[in-house]
Chain A
């Protein structure tokens, strides 16, 4: 009987458990969870603040999940060291766990720049965990002025979650636009305008230089007084367990398409890893939930002795704020990189499709996002444009453009 151990208890861990169990019903699975909660939907912590979910519904899997899958979860303890020679993991209470197959699914931690005077700020939070959300919920009131550092996905989701609970929200970012990792500047402008109409204030191209108590002195020289500070500057992958034993790491733990790390017997999955983004061929951290699940499942299947590859990773996001949805996927190449852009644009809607070398490499949709998956599928599966009627497809995502053979295969048989 194999002895499986998973470090971390997020989505990648769940994928790993389900992957192992699809092959091996009997092996022992131990999960080491530094958080004291059964697995929950991390992306839903802002929806919790907004009242769209609660402590019960935010659970990612039903109550009996671990029992049904024969897992033992060790809550509230962290793995601090792996001895890959002896195949043993040391926990922070000095207990030891032996493994035959190990998956590192440690996710990421908030990155906190060391701002001058940050220690003088009373109420400061990150926005990564359910406990962060619960602490922020306790701290805010109708009179709170909130300053959020970082206009990325996490900072803005936090702003959305808090808007109806507080008096004002200001979001600052060194970048000159919101959501700079997934939107180009025209698209970002549409989203920013919408967020401003919904009551969020921005200070872009500007960030805190130092803090003096509950006052931020900005790089621009402005001053912002606040009651609550949320630091959402960025995240860093938790790679140290593998790095410390000489495993290959970049920004994330490097894995192959079987989720094997460079150290034998050790796999890794989810936000802590770095893998090939097939929309551009570069190795990067793709910190999104679907990727965590699919990598986890792939790792689990391989750990259990079967063969499975996951080689379709792309960044993709569906993110809405106050009713306006944006969907993005893949990589954006402009004309200066030999790419072509197809665009439809109106006041608060935009569609941009990016093609290069005969492939759809990425897209941005804001406003009308119906059937976006047809484009995502083109990017993920690298379907050559020559196999579809792209002139039609770019205007209308449907299957006329794919031809009768394709339709017969997809709509006439089990897929």
Chain B
């Protein structure tokens, strides 16, 4: 299965992945309308200090502790992708308590969100990787 991998040597900390992620998941066709003047709540985030930066998003772990811990049965694995059923999620945040990567977050309304590899939105493949200018985020089989 293809997953997201990060090579921090190539990351310049431009945060484009965050914008592309927020746009891809906004459901809005026009990027300006989707993002301009708004706080964004992307499912990938760039961390770092003055020397190094890198992007963090769901690792789609082979035995994900978030799924094992989910108290509402909302997190599930579909063909290797860790997905969330927003209809079942009650926002208890247990997944945030257990994700070792800090890769699960809340959207503007406090609802839980996570990377689903853009398989449910119109991008069709991870927008963070597609738009990364330096190949610091790749979507491939390893």
Taking the closest CB of chain A, its distance from the CB of B54, in whole angstroms, is 6
Instruction: Jot down 9 A-B pairs with beta carbons below 8 A, ordered by A.
Output: A290-B71, A294-B68, A317-B97, A320-B93, A373-B101, A399-B56, A407-B54, A411-B56, A415-B59
Judged by a CB distance under 8 angstroms, whether B130 is at the interface is no
In the complex formed, the residue of A with least CB distance to B94 is A318
Most chain B beta-carbon neighbours within 10 Å: one of A60, A293, A318, A374: A318
Task: List B contacts of A376 (CB < 8 A).
Answer: 97-98, 100
Interface membership of chain A positions 390-406, coded 1 if the CB is closer than 8 angstroms to chain B and 0 otherwise: 00000001111000100
In the complex formed, the residue of A with least CB distance to B1 is A414
Task: List B contacts of A41 (CB < 8 A).
Answer: 71-73
From A60, A323, A398, A415, contact of B61 by CB (8 A): A415
Task: List B contacts of A414 (CB < 8 A).
Answer: 3, 62, 142
Task: List A contacts of B8 (CB < 8 A).
Answer: 404, 407-408, 411
Taking the closest CB of chain A, its distance from the CB of B53, in whole angstroms, is 9
Q: CA separation between A413 and B61, bound complex, in Å?
A: 10
At the interface with chain A, which of B15-23, B31-39, B83-91?
B83-91
In the complex formed, the residue of A with least CB distance to B72 is A41
- On whether the beta carbons of B52 and A404 are closer than 8 Å, the reply is yes
Q: Which residues in chain B, 122-142, are within 8 Å of chain A measured between CB atoms? A: 142
- On whether the beta carbons of A316 and B6 are closer than 8 Å, the reply is no
The number of residues on chain A lying at the interface, defined by a beta carbon within 8 Å of a beta carbon of chain B, is: 46
In the complex formed, the residue of A with least CB distance to B100 is A377
Judged by a CB distance under 8 angstroms, whether A243 is at the interface is no
- On whether the beta carbons of B68 and A61 are closer than 8 Å, the reply is no
Beyond A318-B94, A371-B102, 20 additional pairs, beta carbon < 8 A: A15-B68, A41-B71, A43-B71, A47-B90, A289-B69, A290-B94, A297-B68, A317-B97, A319-B92, A323-B110, A327-B93, A371-B99, A373-B95, A373-B100, A374-B100, A374-B102, A376-B97, A412-B7, A414-B3, A415-B59
Q: CA separation between A271 and B75, bound complex, in Å?
A: 22
Q: CA separation between A44 and B89, bound complex, in Å?
A: 10
Judged by a CB distance under 8 angstroms, whether B49 is at the interface is yes
Taking the closest CB of chain A, its distance from the CB of B79, in whole angstroms, is 15
At the interface with chain B, which of A51-59, A67-75, A179-187, A217-225?
A51-59
Taking the closest CB of chain B, its distance from the CB of A89, in whole angstroms, is 28
Taking the closest CB of chain B, its distance from the CB of A415, in whole angstroms, is 5
- On whether the beta carbons of B88 and A373 are closer than 8 Å, the reply is no
5 closest A-B pairs by beta carbon, nearest first, are A371-B102, A290-B69, A377-B100, A373-B99, A318-B97
- On whether the beta carbons of A374 and B101 are closer than 8 Å, the reply is yes
Contacts known (A290-B98, A404-B52, A411-B5); A373 close to B73, Cβ less than 8 A: no
Interface membership of chain A positions 278-290, coded 1 if the CB is closer than 8 angstroms to chain B and 0 otherwise: 0000000000011
- On whether the beta carbons of A372 and B91 are closer than 8 Å, the reply is no
Q: CA separation between A397 and B68, bound complex, in Å?
A: 22
From A61, A294, A413, contact of B5 by CB (8 A): A413
Contacts known (A53-B88, A410-B59); A60 close to B93, Cβ less than 8 A: no
Task: List A contacts of B102 (CB < 8 A).
Answer: 370-374, 397-398
Judged by a CB distance under 8 angstroms, whether B107 is at the interface is no
- On whether the beta carbons of B73 and A399 are closer than 8 Å, the reply is no
In the complex formed, the residue of A with least CB distance to B97 is A318
Task: List A contacts of B49 (CB < 8 A).
Answer: 400
Taking the closest CB of chain B, its distance from the CB of A195, in whole angstroms, is 17
Task: List A contacts of B93 (CB < 8 A).
Answer: 318, 320, 325, 327, 369
Judged by a CB distance under 8 angstroms, whether A329 is at the interface is yes
From A316, A329, A411, A415, contact of B54 by CB (8 A): A411
Q: CA separation between A408 and B7, bound complex, in Å?
A: 8
Taking the closest CB of chain B, its distance from the CB of A92, in whole angstroms, is 29
Task: List B contacts of A316 (CB < 8 A).
Answer: 97-98
Q: Which residues in chain A, 352-410, are within 8 Å of chain B measured between CB atoms? A: 369-374, 376-377, 397-400, 404, 407-408, 410
- On whether the beta carbons of B142 and A413 are closer than 8 Å, the reply is yes
- On whether the beta carbons of A318 and B96 are closer than 8 Å, the reply is yes
- On whether the beta carbons of A57 and B88 are closer than 8 Å, the reply is yes
In the complex formed, the residue of B with least CB distance to A52 is B90
Q: Which residues in chain A, 278-312, are within 8 Å of chain B measured between CB atoms? A: 289-290, 293-294, 297
Judged by a CB distance under 8 angstroms, whether B105 is at the interface is yes
Task: List A contacts of B7 (CB < 8 A).
Answer: 412
- On whether the beta carbons of A373 and B92 are closer than 8 Å, the reply is no
Judged by a CB distance under 8 angstroms, whether B115 is at the interface is no
- On whether the beta carbons of A373 and B142 are closer than 8 Å, the reply is no
Task: List A contacts of B88 (CB < 8 A).
Answer: 53, 57
Task: List B contacts of A410 (CB < 8 A).
Answer: 59, 101
